[in-house]
Structure 1
Amino acid sequence: MSTPDPTASAGGAGSSAPHDLDAASGTNPYAVSRRSGGLLSSLFLVIVIAAGLSFIPLPYVIFQPGPITNTLGTLDGKEIIQVKGATAYPAKGALDFTTVRVTGGPGVRVNLFELAEAALRPDYEIYKREEIYPTETTREQIQQENAAEMVDSQEVAAAIALRETGRTVPERVVVSALPEGSPAKGVLEPGDEILSVAGTATPDAKAVQAAVQAQKAGAPVAIVVRRDGTQKTVSVTTRDVQGRTVVGVSLGRDYDLPVDVTITAGGVGGPSAGTMFTLAVYDLLTPGDLTGGKRIAGTGTMEPDESVGPIGGIRQKLAGARNGGADYFLAPADNCDEVVGHVPDGLEVVRIGSFDDALGAVKAIAADDVASLPRC
């Protein structure tokens, strides 16, 4: 049944007044047939159901490519890396750190439509929530941990870059944050330097973690700290978290940097930009142009022993790097199994396991001598 033009006359020829009934048939020209009404009702029901499904939270987390940022560039009009107390040499090219955009997790649930879109995208990945976040973790705890890891990665990057230029950089392990609910809250404080745990000296973060994990969960442990220049012993009751004994603190490293290095990364958290930060600080502190004007992206934590650690979301970071215009990508060796088969067209991936590997790769790329560089 066709719908009549509502401006046409419903009466006899020449009539301009609208009528409720068609003069010839006695039917309403604006009435909807029973069949059409049923279709419209079904369509309305589908829309209502779809709208309802869009609000049903699902226990999944979606990883998708995030933006890349040139560590040698600016952010909100300010240089991302600022150096005071030493000559900062101009740098060209780009050393991009890569990111993953995460949907879902504590306080934020994905819906059916987001899940369906992710299933159709080869550069997206879907995980069960518990695969990424511990069950009782809150959004605030995740944010605090990511922020602490980012600060720590920046300090490690500055320290290693300065050491690589021949400078001496003393190191201390400190409490960087205490999440809500931590058994150490009110006992330990941010900035406390941890000297020993249960009588075992703790010169670095790994030593602290090992000493704590050697304790029985639920039992008190003696921790010697230096606070405001004074040494004191405190007692913290340990806790079991997924089979690991913890005291509920985030650890950082406090370095006596001979040069003031400030790194600003915006709202990005986590430790995975460490390698690119280290390369960028080194580039700024040494004469010449390290990248040769090339655009090089990468990822990987930078450990205090100068090894490059694996990260999550490597597939999304590869895609994000290429989307952002990078031609080369530095990938942690321990992520190579995830790299194979997921390299975007036009992106060359180089395997790295240490700062020396990363530095050598960037120099080779700058010199257009990449044939012999290790790949995944």
Structure 2
Amino acid sequence: MIVLVLDQIPPDDPADDPRPRDAEEPGEGSPVPRPTPRAVVQSFGMLAASVLVGVLAVMPAPYAVNGPGPTRDVLGEVDGEPLIEVEGAPTYPSTGELRLTTISGVGGPGYPAYALNVLRGWISPSSVVRPVEDVYPQDVSREEIDESNAGLMVSSQENATVAALVELGYEVPATLVVAGTVEGTDADGKLEEGDVLTAMDGVALPDYQTLVGRLADVAPGDTVTLTVTRHARSEDVSVVTSEREGGGAQIGVFIDPSFDMPVDVRINIEGIGGPSAGTMFALGLVDLLTPEDEAAGVVIAGTGTIDVTGAVGPIGGIRQKLAGAVRDGAAWFLAPADNCDEVVGHVPDGLRVVEVATLRDAREAMVAIGAGDADDLPTCTAG
């Protein structure tokens, strides 16, 4: 503290100055006191620390750091426009929130992580630090990664729309185009890219769900007769099915369906890529297209991929998404069943997690939560 004594003015003549003058006061022409060794050491220490911090701030590190990213209410707005817009069907307001969750990260092509990022990641309980080669392929560019994520987001939105409309009882016709065959299966060499599947064992295939349903009744190793349109001609092709990963029979083809949507749905979201928002997109569309206020004022977050049959799939970064959800006010979180092993023991205080495997599970959970009747909903347990 500096105290100014304004009513005491120093005399003009130094001889009249009453202050003691036993020691020479430093001033112009006076010798400057030599710094002590301790002061020198402290100065050099501070300088070294400053240099070290500067180096850490700009030194790339071979790690990827992921933490909680932003969340978005799929029932809300983005820049003044609804995140989900629907034409061709009435929509209904909701008092709740359905928040998709994301992760944010640095590291990898185009966005290197620096030493300070890594240090903060190690300190933060909601972040994870991994070698960059474990997270990002090293032979692709940032542009290629962004393009892939954008494509996955578009596919996720289409899958979510089909799954939601089918869940609500709409018919969603589809043209089932063969995009390729699985090497080593009986279909390889029998079916061709561009073939259109129109029937199986004489039963018409007007949509993707019919194909999935028919295959559910087939055992791996059974022979099925596929009717295909090839070069504008109809042909029958016999194929021996094989076992797909996870169980059940597969034909051995990749299908690129073209859907004839009965309702026009547009999802307005930018800056977020990948497929993990699919479940929340579908759930939001279900809520918008039904007159009931299912969420009923509750903030529900979640994640999960979704396919056109409504199956919810696992995602990455579940722990970071849990942290982001509770940070943004969510009381409930819908987690894919296949991510439950990563959830157990890592649920933030104030958040309850519900295990879901299908869109139907997620819809029933949303209704129960909104009604205040969620005590019996399944939660993640150790496997």
TM-score above 0.5, yes or no:
yes
Which position in structure 2 is the counterpart of 1:352? 356
Which secondary structure does the structure 2 equivalent of 1:156 belong to?
helix
2:108 is aligned to 105
Does the 8 A contact of 1:119 with 1:126 survive in 2? yes
Q: Deviations over 1:165-218 (max 9, x none)?
A: 222212357xxxxxxxxxxxxxxxxxxx655445436768xx9xxxxxxxxxxx
The amino acid across from 1:340 in the alignment is V
The correspondence for 1:367, drawn from 356, 364, 371, is 371
Are the equivalent residues in 2 in contact too, given 1:20–1:28 (CA < 8 A)? no
Q: Which structure 2 residues correspond to residues 147-186 of structure 1 after superposition, within 5 A? A: 147-172=150-175
Give the SS at the match of 1:54: helix
SS in 2 for 1:346: coil
Aligned to 2:332: 328
Amino acid across the alignment from 2:67: Q
Amino acid at match of 1:62: V
Q: Report the alpha carbon displacement of residue 350 of structure 1 after superposing the two structures with TM.
A: 0.3
Of the structure 1 ranges 308-317 and 39-48, higher mean CA displacement relative to structure 2 is found in 39-48
One-letter identity of the residue aligned with 1:333:
A
State how 1:266-285 maps to structure 2 within 5 Å: 266-285=270-289
Structure 2 matches for 1:26-175, cutoff 5 A? 27-29=31-33, 32-33=35-36, 35-172=38-175
Report if the CA contact (8 A) 1:157-1:278 is conserved. Answer: yes
How many residues in Structure 1 have an aligned counterpart in Structure 2? 303
Percent of aligned pairs with the same residue? 43
**Distance of aligned partners of 1:225 and 1:82 in 2 relative to their CA distance in 1, 3 Å threshold:** farther
Contact kept, 8 Å, 1:298 with 1:330, in 2: the verdict is yes
| Rounded Cα–Cα distance in structure 1 between residues aligned with 2:230 and 2:14 | 100
Q: Are the structure 2 counterparts of residues 375 and 201 from structure 1 closer, same or farther at C-alpha, using a change threshold of 3 Å?
A: farther
Q: Given that residues 61 and 127 in structure 1 are in contact (C-alpha distance below 8 angstroms), is that contact kept between their aligned partners in structure 2?
A: yes
Corresponding residue of 1:200: 191
What's the CA shift for 1:50?
2.6
Larger Rg: 2
RMSD of aligned alpha carbons = 3.0
Inter-partner Cα distance in structure 2 for 1:143 and 1:172? 29
Aligned partner of residue 351 in structure 1, secondary structure: strand
The alpha-carbon deviation at position 48 of structure 1 amounts to 1.6
TM-score, length basis structure 1: 0.74
SS in 1 for 2:338: helix
Does the CA-based 8 Å contact 1:96-1:276 persist in structure 2?
A: yes
Distance in structure 1 (CA, Å) of the matches to 2:143 and 2:280: 27
Q: Residues of 2 paired with 1:80 and 1:370: CA distance?
A: 27
Query: Is the partner of 2:120 in helix, strand or coil?
Result: helix
Shift of 1:290: 1.7
Q: 1:288 to 1:199 in 2, by over 3 A?
A: same
Distance (Å, rounded) in 1 between the aligned partners of 2:376 and 2:38: 71
Q: Could you list the runs of 5+ residues in structure 1 that have no partner in the other structure?
A: 1-7, 174-192, 208-223, 230-249
Matches within 5 A, 1:203-282: 254-282=258-286
Q: TM-score scaled to structure 2, two decimals? A: 0.72
CA distance in structure 2 between the aligned counterparts of 1:278 and 1:342, rounded to whole angstroms: 26
